[in-house]
Amino acid sequence: MSKDTTAEIQRDILDRKLTEITLLAKRLCPEAKVEANTVRYEDEDARLKILPPSGLSEAEEEALEEALVEKCIEVFDETGLFIVCAAFDSN
């Protein structure tokens, strides 16, 4: 398998996993804004920034972030892709 083919396969896997995590975020909090960034930084393969609506309680925001981080850990265990995910105050 060529280097280009391997890179394409890795990119396809990354795209699918980012889509999975994004859909999970939208299922857990439909009003949240989700921003994905695939610019590599150090050992990160991608980053997801979740901006929950302002009416979400701190406990709900933490639960959302925890569920998404758990999914990112599953993705890492499954694929070796390091996707950083965090919820930010939308203000």
**For the domain bounded by 3-87, which CATH number is listed?**
3.30.300
| Consecutive H or E run containing 86 | strand 83-87
Binned at pLDDT 50, 70 and 90, residue 6 comes out as confident
The two three-digit tokens of residue 57, written as one number: 């309680």
pLDDT at 16: 96
pTM, 2 dp? 0.86
Tens of pLDDT, residue by residue over 9-44, are 989 999 999 999 999 999 999 999 999 998 888 899
**Backbone phi and psi for residue 80, each to the nearest 5 degrees, phi listed first:** 85, 0
Higher per-residue confidence, 5 vs 67: 67
| Amino acid type, 59 | A
